[in-house]
Chains A and B, each alone.
Chain A
Amino acid sequence: MKLLVCVSKTPDTTSRIAFSSDGAQFDANGVQYIMNPYDEWYALVRALELKEAHGGTVTLINVGTESNDQVIRKGLAIGADNAVRVNCDPQSSLFVAKQIAEYARKENFDIVFCGKETIDYNSSEVGAMVAEFLDLPYVSFASKLDVSGQTATAARDIEGGTEMVEVDLPFVVSAAKGMAEQRIPNMQGIMMAKRKPLDVIDPVPFDELSTPVQYTLPPAKKTVQLFNADQMDELVRLLHEEAKVI
């Protein structure tokens, strides 16, 4: 089985998030980065498990600059066979999806994995767009994935229950919690990763269709307000007018 796993780099959840003073750009200063957990813990590990069970190869793809190489190496250390980085600084999900699709089209992968979303921009767009570009079926938010012959069965967590989906290979899937369990790379894996191929390729020309113009932080959390028993009217007024809960 030929498997492709899309991986991206996201700020560590403990990082303090800030934007440039005009709000147009993310301020990367002092931010520590990790591999997007949905890509790492679920998509990649399930791809490796399928490879271990059925044979084949696991390729990683990332659309980004050289600073992403460490995250890609981590994927190789966890067990992927090789990796490709499309060398550019993408501005939108559509651009990323286009680049991935162009590469995947040439390689004829059986399954293209991505995480259900990245934990920074939370767009959940890339997988669907890749599927559309490739004209392949798409299974989103899969929390289980099994393959038997040329058919796969996926479980999707939906409101109030689980949906089971059957799909023929090849297809695109986005991985949600439950699909696999995190694997920590060991020292041998880290050493082997150094020798695995990480090819850098040029992006295909593609016009961005949208550009982010402004970011704002959510309003700071208000502190707790305490009221005396004789201030009930004021409490009711605030609950009504400010908190708007009554």
Chain B
Amino acid sequence: MYTNNNGTGDHTIVKRAKEDRYQHHDYYNIDELLTEEHLLARDAVRTWVKQEVTPIIEEYADKAQCPTHLFKGLADIGAFGPSIPAEYGGGGMDEMAYGVIMQELERGDSGIRSMASVQGSLVMYPIYRFGSEEQRRKYLPKLGNGEFIGCFGLTEPDYGSNPTDMITNVKDDGDAYILNGAKMWITNSPVADIAVVWARDEQGIIRGMVVERDMKGFSTPEIKGKWSLRASITGELVFEDVRVPKANVLPNVQGMKGPLSCLNKARYGIAWGAIGAALDCYDSALRYSLERIQFGRPIGQFQLQQKKLAEMITEITKAQLLIWRLGSLANVGKATPAQISMAKRNNVMMALEIAREARQMHGGMGITNEYPVFRHMMNLETVLTYEGTHDIHLLITGMDITGLNAFK
């Protein structure tokens, strides 16, 4: 283990020397179903993660600090909005490419993947999809190159799983709206330059708008004490009579369709990302099982350990097939929200269960930051909850197959 706590209170971040020996696992040769472009994208992000994320992530997670310097690196490799057209600062890639990028980022850390999910799917996407040409030109290139950090405000202190009932609201005031209310659990909010905020207008219709950091009455207090996603910064958005120019309102969407279509994009990426976290846990457990000797043999020789590993790779392979099919549907615009819900729910729980099993396989070492497993396990608790909880996604599937709404 390493620490830089030299007793002087000096907590500068030290890079860890330990090599990231991660190797991809592809039991069913699913790589053959990917294109050259997908494989190159995955390889590039994996290299970047090994160079930039692995050496620092344990330390940032330990100190519950956000490695904000990585925003620039994420922008440089093109991880922000890869499927948004290049002329607006995106990568012009397909949905499968977006997926493999999210998988590799989350292989490093769910918090790093969250940085990219929020920026790409929850901030750039709504501005691209629902914004005016002027708004697109104003914000997208700067979000794409990391000059601006964005966040997405939907959840409120009293409205989590049912954002439809949100109370954050705007009142018409000539050329502007007056925004009041508060958003809770907002990834990146304390470091964001802009926020895409969803609020109810005087007719009760949900509208999306871009709130800028320097607008009067707008503040973003940080939420402390998280045991999960510790390398990602989370905060509130507080609006006290914030004057938002009407030019900042997204003109081309009204109602919950706005935020929900963003969430669909992000959930799709999460369904890929979770596989990355699962692969990292499996990879670590497999290697550990071959290196750790007990009773005179590698623990990987014991049937109980083999059962864990065999079940892990089976579940990962199933998830990989599921996501490949979902990616193929997404590429032609045919992935339904309910199909995305199923993949998000399945893959995140799969990853969490693998993290827990892998944790046990590492014995005492498994609870330290010497291995990535415990960090993934803690992170995945958030991933299981945000972007629609595990239960909510089940109810979406339930509603889809029965036609009956369990929410009402």
Chain A residues at the B interface, C-beta cutoff of 8 Å = 12, 14, 32, 69-70, 73-74, 77, 182, 184-188, 190-191, 193-194
Contact = CB atoms under 8 A, between A and B. Distances in A.
Contacts of A182: 47
A49 B47 CA distance: 21
Given A32-B24, A191-B93, A184 B44 contact: yes
Interface in B86-124: 86, 91-93, 97, 101
A70 B97 contact: no
B163 to A, nearest CB: 31
Contacts of A185: 40, 44
A69 B101 CA distance: 21
B40 A186 contact: no
Contacts of A14: 21, 23
Contacts of A188: 78, 86, 91-92
Decide if the interface of chain A is mainly helix, strand, loop or mixed: helix
A187 B40 CA distance: 9
A41 to B, nearest CB: 11
B173 interface: no
B48 interface: yes
A73 B40 contact: yes
Interface string B24-52: 10000000000011011101100110010
A190 B21 contact: no
Contacts of B40: 70, 73-74, 77, 185, 190, 193
B23 A187 contact: no
Given A14-B23, A186-B77, A191 B39 contact: no
A184 B92 CA distance: 18
B21 A187 contact: no
A53 B48 CA distance: 26
Contacts of B79: 187
Contacts of B91: 187-188, 190-191
A202 B78 CA distance: 36
B48 A187 contact: no
Nearest to B37: A190
Contacts of B77: 184, 186-187
A12 B43 CA distance: 12
B48 A184 contact: yes
B158 interface: no
Contacts of B41: 187, 190
A164 to B, nearest CB: 31
A70 B39 contact: yes
5 contacts: A73-B36, A74-B43, A184-B48, A187-B93, A188-B91
Residue of A69, A73, A190 ringed by the most chain B CB atoms within 10 A: A190
B76 interface: yes
Nearest to B101: A187
Interface in B232-251: none
